Amino acid sequence: MSSVPNDTISQLLQARGKIALNSQDVVTSPCLSICTMDEETNWCKGCFRTLDEIIAWSKSSNEQKKQNWQLILKRVEGDIW
């Protein structure tokens, strides 16, 4: 289990998400190496992705990755449950 506070994870993902959404090159992964799934949401506690999203990442286009980032940011902000 991570010792990183949830607020810190949220702030880090929001900052990285803004950079990724504005990228013209390779869209960076949201992975923070805190790989523990939340049993309630089925999202990784570090990157807020589902297992299917994590598996699909490496084969996704930059546009698909940006769409995934938008979804992650909505999850971080509490707009999606």
4-52: pLDDT as tens digits: 568 889 999 999 999 999 998 999 999 999 999 999 999 999 999 999 9
pLDDT at 5: 61
57-79: pLDDT as tens digits: 999 999 999 999 999 999 998 87
Among the listed residues 14, 10, 47, the one whose alpha carbon sits nearest the alpha carbon of residue 32: 47
pLDDT at 27: 95
Among the listed residues 40, 22, 30, 25, the one whose alpha carbon sits nearest the alpha carbon of residue 71: 30
What are the boundaries of each domain within the chain? 6-76
Please give the backbone phi and psi of residue 44, each rounded to the nearest 5 degrees, phi first. Answer: -65, 135
pTM of the full predicted structure?
0.86
Is 34:2 a contact under the CB 8 Å cutoff?
yes
pLDDT at 79: 77
pLDDT at 38: 94
